[in-house]
A and B are shown apart, each in its own frame.
Chain A
């Protein structure tokens, strides 16, 4: 029976994946370069569409949500290393992309990306990380003062008109810019996770989470 066969296949695959703790399985390994490329292309499509956003974390979040911590972290780190070829200062911001991967795995395991509203809400976490860690890195790298990015255009008026401390102004500016960016990013992630075929999801370490009625199969087997 095809239905029965699919159930057994899902169970078997998820058990195999669960046994490979700390190791990156073959399919996840081949998804890493695609995740890295998607991070780049996301940013380039944003430029083509003249959007004032980065959109450079889609690959990291998708791979982390489907494959787990290590593949996600590798995607984040290598994306920044390859970005450094043309813009070396992005190397300083590598911890940001790696943190996105860790948060994406935690949220994926809690099934946040299965629900649209929770997915949109998750943008706040990513924006807080982007703004928080981003502001700290900018603060350190630029000699404990404002950076030279777009955020400076918002943080300086905040500092001068509202009298906020420089770091707080930088943090608020970076987080605010990141919110819109991450909302669009997570909506794209949600759409992609919804559209991936079940037979492909079944082969990925965290793919089981996104298989429709996967819990029902597990309950049956218990």
Chain B
């Protein structure tokens, strides 16, 4: 059993899902090109079609729930809010009334403009969300390190994520302690603002004081040694098909951009 466990690290790490097992850089290029294409196209039919595709794809990768939860929040903040704001804020160019709500006339022109803007904002956001939902940060940093990025970058990214979790717990503990010693956390904005300082200051100072020990501990684990690093978890390198796919998507985005610029210049 121990041998089996040991041997598991000799194989490439796999999840069993086609998309999740792609090399992180492949996923990044594919998601980024699709996300950018919605900005270049600036068309609500294309943008929302891509968003629908993200949903179906997220469920196919087994991350549907997680994706839907975050995407719906963005949909309300960016999508719905923007549609209302354009109806209120856009005054020129409105000629075609659509409908009326309690005397408030909605115009077709500002409605289409808001759909265009929110579709590319959501199209861009959805692509990035899908990527981060299906790619752990450590896998992304593994790929970057293989591309020649310093291990220090990996340390900064991964350590930051861990620090956020740790400091969040500490901040709740500090806030509770301050409350128990009588600090006001309810009341007007000034009272609540005053409670901010006794919470954030000990948090930062406590975190700072631990850096020296951390620095020594990291050096004891050969953090500063300049030589090739090894990894406990290896990922399958980028295949030829993946490279071709990345090239095709990148070329498609470049062509789309050139076409859009040329079309705008001819106009």
Query: What is the interface of chain A, defined by CB distance below 8 A to chain B?
Result: 26-27, 29-34, 36-38, 40-42, 44-46, 48-52, 55, 58-59, 62, 74, 78, 81-82, 84-89, 91, 141-143, 145-146, 148, 152, 156, 159-160, 166, 184, 187-188, 191-192, 195-197, 200, 203
* Binding stretch for chain A, among B16-24, B211-219, B256-264: B211-219
In the complex, the answer to whether A41 meets B164 with C-beta atoms within 8 Å is yes
In the complex, the answer to whether B175 meets A188 with C-beta atoms within 8 Å is no
Which B residues touch A78, using CB under 8 A? Answer: 156-157, 160
Contact partner of B160 (CB less than 8 A), chosen from A42, A51, A82, is A82
- A25 and chain B: residue at smallest CB distance: B215
In the complex, the answer to whether A44 meets B82 with C-beta atoms within 8 Å is no
Per DSSP, chain B at the interface is helix
Contact partner of A31 (CB less than 8 A), chosen from B42, B167, B172, B208, is B208
In the complex, the answer to whether B152 meets A29 with C-beta atoms within 8 Å is yes
In the complex, the answer to whether B218 meets A44 with C-beta atoms within 8 Å is no
- B156 and chain A: residue at smallest CB distance: A32
Please judge, given known A-B contacts A30-B215, A41-B171, whether A51 and B196 are in contact too, CB under 8 Å: yes
Q: Which of B146-203 contact A (CB under 8 A)?
A: 152, 155-157, 159-164, 166-168, 171-172, 175, 185, 189, 192-193, 195-197, 199-201, 203
Q: Please provide the 4 A-B residue pairs with the shortest distance between their CB atoms, ordered closest to farther.
A: A37-B163, A88-B128, A33-B159, A88-B125
Write the nearest CB–CB distance from B147 to chain A, whole angstroms.
17
In the complex, the answer to whether B197 meets A74 with C-beta atoms within 8 Å is no
Tier of interface size on chain B: 35 or more
Write the nearest CB–CB distance from B152 to chain A, whole angstroms.
7
Write the nearest CB–CB distance from A89 to chain B, whole angstroms.
6
* Binding stretch for chain A, among B57-65, B84-92, B228-236: B84-92
Please judge, given known A-B contacts A85-B132, A166-B89, whether A192 and B201 are in contact too, CB under 8 Å: yes
Q: Give Cα A38–Cα B127 distance, bound, in whole angstroms.
A: 27
Please judge, given known A-B contacts A34-B163, A200-B212, whether A45 and B205 are in contact too, CB under 8 Å: no
Known: A33-B159, A78-B157, A145-B90. 16 other contacts (CB 8 A): A27-B212, A33-B156, A33-B160, A34-B167, A34-B211, A38-B204, A44-B168, A45-B200, A48-B172, A51-B193, A74-B156, A87-B125, A88-B124, A89-B125, A148-B85, A196-B205
Q: Which of B121-153 contact A (CB under 8 A)?
A: 121, 124-125, 127-129, 132, 152
